[in-house]
Amino acid sequence: MKHIPLFAALLWAGTAASFSAIYTLDATNRGRYQNNGGRVTGNYIAGNAGSSEYYRNYFVFDLSSVAVGETITSATLRLLNPINGYNSVDVTEIYTNFSLDSISISALTNGNGSNALNVPIYTDLGDGIAYSSGVAVSAASNGTTVQIALNNSFLSYAQANLGTLIAIGGAITTLDINANNHESIFGATTGTTPSDTQLVINTVPELTTNVLLLLATLIMVIVRRKRGLTMRCS
């Protein structure tokens, strides 16, 4: 019977260490940049609408609600694609998310003052570290929420920026460059709400020093009791 409190304590410690949490975060800012530096806030079309203008989109999320010390185990980007959001001469296109390597979030959300100065932002939205392996989108994606699993590179980025803002770029990586074909996803997204663009994060709490000390103490008590029983039986 003396071992029951020890077992209960170990069970409690293990449960506390493995308890997970889910955070569903609406985008605090989203929009698109064009290859000529034009910027539109709210509409997050990506691709080419049948002209010489190409679009890459972006999303900003606030991680201040995620407790510092929690470990992010997975993340999914959810993006509403309206009924007519996919429009392409191709049956499918590949949409991929990227890191921002040379542009600050402030510059991303405010622009650099002129179209010419904004061109590097457009470039950065589609040439950084890939945060997803690319998801195939098609006409079947119309009227649905596209679910994008984000990879370990994104998890490391988000983990290092808990409590602050983070940003994700996005681009169609199968465009027929310079062909001026209509190849786009997330068209007609003007008027959508922040809840139409979400980041879902799964976390587990970090093993705190107190929990680790408790586990170490319990192990020592169990070892000593086993030694005591062995000595009495010998």
pLDDT digits (tens, 9 = 90+) for 52-104: 999 999 999 999 999 888 999 999 999 999 999 999 999 999 999 999 999 99
Query: Do 185 and 81 form a contact (C-beta atoms < 8 A)?
Result: yes
Dist. CA 187–CA 163, nearest whole Å: 32
pLDDT one-digit tens code per residue, 143-192: 999 999 999 999 999 999 999 999 999 999 999 988 889 999 999 999 99
Q: What is the mean pLDDT of the chain?
A: 88
Q: Give the pLDDT mean for 211-216.
A: 52
**Separation CA 234–CA 231 (nearest Å):** 5
Mean pLDDT value of segment 1-7: 50
User: What residues does 170 pair with on adjacent strands?
Assistant: 57, 97
What's the rounded Cα separation, in Å, for the pair 178 and 128? 21
- What is the pLDDT, as a whole number, of residue 50? 87
SS3 state at 151 = coil
* Residues 138, 101: Cα–Cα separation, whole Å: 29
Report pLDDT digits (tens) over 23-51: 999 999 999 999 999 999 999 999 999 89
- In angstroms, the CA 204 to CA 23 distance is 11
Is pLDDT at 10 greater than 70 in this prediction?
Answer: no
